[in-house]
Structures are given as structure tokens and as C-alpha cells.
Amino acid sequence: MKQELTLHNGDIKKLLVKYSIPAIISMLVSALYNVVDRIFIGNMKDVGALAITGVGITMPIVTIALAFSMLIGIGATANISIKLGEKRKDSAEKIMGNIITLSIILGLVITILGSVYKDPILKAFGASESTLKYAREYITIILYGTVFNIMGYALNSTIRADGNPKICSAIMVISCFVNIILDPIFIFTFGLGIKGAAIATVLSQVMTAILSFAYYMSKKSNLKIKKSNLALDKDIVKLILAIGISPFTMQLATSMVQVVNNNALKLHGGDLAIGAMATVNAVALLCFMPVYGISQGAQPIIGYNFGAKQYKRMEEAYKIATWSGIIIFGVALFLVEVFPSTIVGLFNKNPDIMAISIHGMRIYLMAMPSIAIGMAGSNYFLAIGEGKAAMFLSLLRQVILLIPLIMIFSRMYGLTGIWLAQPICDLIAAIVTMIMVDKNLNKYNGSQFALFKMRIYE
């Protein structure tokens, strides 16, 4: 296959560009699902500040749904890349069939449980009497689209491993445009408010799922979805979960952090502080997605060459991905620090929420370049099938360090302490990640301090 030969022999930099640019577009478009909603919701007349706070309260639930999407999607994508590197196409197609069934089962479970218990969950996540109405209206509709959300993400992710990253990106772009076009129509023209934003998001997720499924039914795909592969296979499910458990755990940890954050913000800054965090997270999401896209683009390159035992090429892909991320985050940090009012003003013009958002954003994101090291390192371990190492790095940054620091710093410094906890965790996690990746690479290449030493090979 032409794709396999390219991954086997192609120039690493060119391969990374080929896979990363579509992945970056896909990640940015994925981020826009939430960001566009928040921009339109935050600019709703009279109720924008409370409405965006309501959306912020629902984020832990949205993040949990994303966790299950990544559990299946990333776990399947990494395994498919490895199987293709091992020339085992039949095994890769069995994985494809299993993710369809898993998506349906998990999506239905989340929809049912979330719908039944949404009010007590939202109150536990920081909803007040003023914001519960908006949070309930938004999440009720979002939950109805969970099956399509999970299936669309999972199938779309595997298209990269199938050798068509451009199609993967194109599907995401089309779905995002659907969301952007429908948002103002449902919110303002039809007068549905926050419900309209949720309907637009769900319809765009349905579009992603339909187009991704249609790709595998077309002649363009190398792998095919076959009815015989839809029955769950215990061994395949274990393979998917073994790798997918790391990003799954990371997203669950993110959800947990959001809950802790929301309650701490409510205590030390009130409802508007939760709205400010929703704004800051939206900005962070836009900054993170290009770097995450690069890491995603490197994953099939690393996974294939690991399966083919070409460890030098595997190492080179990791290093280039990491340094690219550091540079991008450096540029993003400059923009955040120099133009904070312009950035925050896109989401809400309320002077009180703007003041909180600007102060928080400049502190919360000040260690961004170090996050690139953590992202690339975690994805490196995912690509080579070492999910436990990736899971530890995720837990280190999001749970082991962050939650205790939020609790301690919020008591010491109030609202500022909540913002400060994140960059401190980012720096510590980056140092630990470098040590772990170098130790792992040393097993294959005898490499030390790989991030700072470029290797020349035939």
C-alpha cells in the first residue's frame, strides 16, 4: 500500500506536516463547537453573563461525554495504526466494527443516566438558583446527541489511521460550518436562546457521524466496516481500552477539576467567576487544539514505526512534534498577554465578567509552552501502546497535583490562587514527562535527553 510505504520510508517532517495540518484543522474545528456556542450565548441580550455561566456549569458533563469519545476513538486509532504497521488489515477492520457497537452502548448509557439525574448533578457541579435554568436547558438537549457525539468522534479519528487525514479534516470543517450557521438562526432568529445553541451543536455532531460512516462505506477507504465485525470481541475491546484509558482518564480528571473549580469559583468569586472560567477555558481550548493536532498527527507515524521496529524514526517524530508545540504555545502566550481585552471581549462585554476573565486568563495560561511537552509525551506513550504511562502523566497534571493545589491556593490567595494552581502543575508535569520519555527512548535507541538532541540517521 502506498500509505504504508510512505509511513515506512517517508521524510518525518513531511509526514508530520501531512498528518498534522488536517489534524490541527480537525482539532480547531472541534474546539469551535464549544467556542462558537459560548460566543453567541455570551452575547445574548440581558442574560448573556448568566447564560454563559450556565454553560460553564455543564462543562463537566460535556467533558465526561468527550472522555468516552476519546476512550474509543484514540484507543482504536492507535491500535489500527499498530495493526497496519504489522500488516494485519483484518485485525484493523475488526477494531472498526467494534467501535460502532461500543459507541452506541456507551452513548445510550450516558444519555439515560444524565437525563434522569441532571438536576442533582448540575447543583453538585456549582449551579445556583440563578444559573440552574440555563444549565438545565442546555445540557438536556446535548445529552440527546451523545450517541452521535461519541460515534462521530471515534469514526472520524480512525480516518487518519486509515490514511486519509484530509477527509477527516474536511468532515470536521463541514460539521463546524453547520454549527456556526445554525447557532444564530436557532438562538436569535427562532428565539430559542440557549436551547438553540444546544440544538445546533447536536445537529453538527450528527453530521460528523453520518459523514464519517459514509466514508467507510465508500471506495475511498482502505478499511471497511463489516457487519460481521460489529459483534463485540472481548480481546479487541481490551486492546481499545488499554490505550484509550489514558485519554479517558485525563478527560474524567478534567471533569473532576471542573467540578472542583466551579465550586471554588462560586465560593470565592460567585456566579460571574464561573462564567469567567468558561471564557478562559474557551480561549485555552483554541490555543491547545493546534498543538494537540500536531500530537495527533504524530501518533500514526510513531505507532507505525514502533510496530515496524524503526525506533529512530519514532524518536524523530516525537521530538519534532514537541518543539513545534512549544513554538506555537509561545506565540499564543504572547497574544494572550498583549491582547487580553480583545480576546475576552469576543465572549462577553459585561465589564465585571471581563475584568475577572482577563485577570484569570493571564495567570492561568502563563506556562503554556510547557504544556506542549506534556501533550507530546502523553501521545507518544499512547502511540506505542503504553497506556499506563500516558495515564499517569494525565493524572499527575490534572488530579494528583492540580486538585490539591486549587484547594490550598484558593484558601491562601482566594480567586487568584485558583488561577495560579494550573501553571504550577503544568511546569512540574513537563519536567516529569521529559524524564519518562527519555527513559523509554533509551530502551530502544540508547537516547538521553532526546528532546534536546536531534538524531541523524539513514
Question: Taking residues 396-423, what's their average pLDDT?
Answer: 93
Look-up of cell digits 462521530: 152
Question: Could you tell me the CA-to-CA distances from 369 to 323, 400, 431 in Å, in that order?
Answer: 9, 21, 12
pLDDT given for residue 447 in this prediction: 57
Higher pLDDT, 445 or 356: 356
pLDDT given for residue 19 in this prediction: 83
Q: Give the other-Cβ count within 10 Å of 405's Cβ.
A: 18
Closest by alpha carbon to 36, among 25, 53, 52? 52
Where does the pLDDT of residue 397 fall: very low under 50, low under 70, confident under 90, or very high at 90 and above?
A: confident
Helix H or strand E segment including 374: helix 368-383
Cα angle, residue 59 at apex, residues 206 and 43 outer, rounded to 5°: 85
Say what the pTM is: 0.77
Please give the grid coordinates belonging to residue 71: 476512550
Q: From its phi and psi, is residue 163 left (phi > 0), alpha (psi between -120 and 50) or beta?
A: left
Please give the grid coordinates belonging to residue 342: 480583545
Share of the chain above pLDDT 90, in %: 56
CA dist., res. 159 & res. 216, Å (int): 8
pLDDT given for residue 135 in this prediction: 94
pLDDT given for residue 450 in this prediction: 59
Where does the pLDDT of residue 45 fall: very low under 50, low under 70, confident under 90, or very high at 90 and above?
A: confident
Q: 314-330 pLDDT, tens per residue?
A: 999 999 999 999 999 99
Q: 193-219 pLDDT, tens per residue?
A: 999 999 999 999 999 999 999 999 998
Query: Taking a C-beta distance cutoff of 8 angstroms, is the pair 273, 353 a contact?
Result: no
CA dist., res. 181 & res. 29, Å (int): 14
Is 90 exceeded by the pLDDT of residue 293? Answer: no
Where does the pLDDT of residue 2 fall: very low under 50, low under 70, confident under 90, or very high at 90 and above?
A: very low
